[in-house]
Amino acid sequence: MSPVLVTGGSGYLGSQLVAALLRSGKEVRTTVRSLARAQELRAAVRRGGADDAGLEIVAAHLMADDGWAAALTGCEEVHHVASPIPVAQPDDPDELIVPAREGTLRVLRAARDAGVRRTVLTSSFAAIGYTPKPGAEFTEADWTDPDTPGLAPYPRSKAIAERAAWDLMERDGGDTELVVVNPTGIFGPTLTATLGSSMQLVKAMLDGTMSVAPRARFGIVDVRDVADLHLRAMAAPEAAGRRFLAVADGPTLSFVEVAGILRGRLGPLAARAPEREAPGEDLPRPVIHNDRAREDLGWQPRPAATTIVESAECLRDLGFLQAGR
Ligand code: NAP
């Protein structure tokens, strides 16, 4: 059986995707920056209910050619998940833009050269809906303009990297197909021992660090549902050359609404979640459509409230809410 390559298997989404692929009976090869994280990754996929015997872990960095040709050898399917997503934005946007763009191009070229059938790229809603528009209603037809005034380095990096991927496919993609998944804010249980930026936000709400909720509204999608959408995007012939927004049904939520769900559903565990929103103007409530993934790929995301509650329960169960963590 030819292995499926997942880049960034050590991450929050990557580890859930590796576990989902292994559970479905695939053999999986994954890249990490440092093989020192191999045992931690094996433990994570076992926590995700998968047998790690079918997992091979290799080293490759988005900023270097070394290792990519070997990582792709014998693969017909690639999920390119790795991209820098820091908790705090760097002063120099190139710290994110360069690895995001160059890494995507490096993986796609290596995939093309290895004769890979299809690559599914994890982009983001940040590449779709971060340029304000009247009505704030977004579908896969929308694009974030990387030159939008005030756009933070991370959304710029995702918009630039995804655009570069489609440009390469059009110019010089060979026979390999590209499908793009564009998740909104990813929440839900983590398999890894380190917390990414979205789980840090839930932790901050629960441990009282976030005493006032920032005034922002966002879409939510469960990490397990994004992994499932990656699998569907790889399998469906008609997905080739298309983007798929990944967001739970229903309205986008504000931080204070998320805090309200936590307090309402979890009682004492969420007693310190913020009740007040930072002062400021009311921003438009974005409307983000998931019809394409639902109708064309049969994708059925969990309700956002379930994801929020299970994020908090996971933080509690892994001990992240104990003093000093
Ligand atoms: P994460 O836990 O930080 O995972 C990021 C992964 O990328 C890690 O495996 C990391 O490897 C790898 N990586 C970062 N820089 C790299 C480099 N220079 N070379 C090689 N690997 C590198 O973040 P995540 O939330 O799972 O994000 C996964 C993907 O989903 C990213 O493409 C992100 O943009 C996208 N996304 C995330 C969200 C969200 O809310 N979290 C929303 C939309 C889209 P190390 O383990 O070596 O650090």
How far apart CA 57 and CA 291 sit, in angstroms, is: 35
Mutate to test the pocket of ligand 1, among 12, 30, 39, 85 (most ligand atoms within 8 A of CB): 85
* Backbone φ and ψ of 307, nearest 5°: -60, -45
234-243: b (≥16 Cβ within 10 Å) or e: bebeebeebb
Q: Which atom of ligand 1 is nearest to the CA of 85?
A: 3
The span from the CA of 302 to the CA of 320, in Å, is 24
Residue 191: predicted pLDDT: 97
Each residue's pLDDT tens digit, 63-80: 999 999 999 999 999 999
230 within ligand 1 shell (Cβ under 6 A): no
Coil, strand or helix at 231: helix
Taking only the tens place, the pLDDT of each residue in 214-266 is 999 999 999 999 999 999 999 999 999 999 999 999 999 999 999 999 999 99
Taking residues 41-58, what's their average pLDDT?
98
Per-residue pLDDT, 1:
86
Q: Dihedral through CA 43, CA 44, CA 46, CA 48, nearest 10?
A: 170
Q: Is 168's C-beta closer than 6 angstroms to any atom of ligand 1?
A: no
Q: Is 158 a catalytic residue?
A: yes
The residue whose CA has the least distance to atom 27 of ligand 1 is 13
- What are the C-alpha distances in Å from 109 to residues 4, 41, 53, 60, 127? 17, 26, 29, 15, 21
Ligand 1 atom nearest the C-alpha of 60 is: 20
CA-nearest residue for atom 36, ligand 1, is 124
Q: What is the pLDDT of residues 120-136, one digit of tens each?
A: 999 999 999 999 999 99
Q: From CA 151, how far away is CA 149, in angstroms rounded?
A: 6
**Where are the chain's structural domains?**
4-188+221-249+287-301
Pair 227, 263: CB distance under 8 Å: no
Ligand 1 mean position, distance from CA 268 (Å): 32
The structure's pTM equals 0.98
Q: What is the mean pLDDT of the chain?
A: 96
CATH entry 3.40.50.720 includes domain 4-188+221-249+287-301? yes
Q: What are 90-121's pLDDT values in tens digits?
A: 999 999 999 999 999 999 999 999 999 999 99
Q: Which of 26, 133, 158, 203 is an active site residue?
A: 158
Average pLDDT over residues 286-314: 98
Q: Identify any residues that bridge with 181 across adjacent strands, giving them in sequence order.
A: 122, 244
Q: What is the pLDDT of residue 283?
A: 82
pLDDT at 324: 64
Q: Quote the CA–CA distance of 270 and 259 in Å, as a whole number.
A: 8
Tell me how far apart the alpha carbons of residues 76 and 124 are, in angstroms, rounded to a whole number. 24
61 lines ligand 1 (CB under 6 A): yes
The alpha carbon of 166 and the centre of ligand 1 are apart by a number of angstroms equal to 20
Rounded CA-CA distance 115/240 in Å is: 16
Supply the pLDDT for residue 285: 92
pLDDT of 34 reads 94
Short-list 136, 248, 228, CA closest to 185: 248
Helix (H, G, I), strand (E, B) or coil at 52: helix
pLDDT tens digits, 139-183: 999 999 999 999 999 999 999 999 999 999 999 999 999 999 999
Q: Which pLDDT belongs to residue 229?
A: 99
Grade residue 282 by pLDDT with cuts at 50, 70 and 90: confident
- Give the model's pLDDT for residue 322: 83
Inter-helix orientation angle 255-266/304-317, to 10°: 70
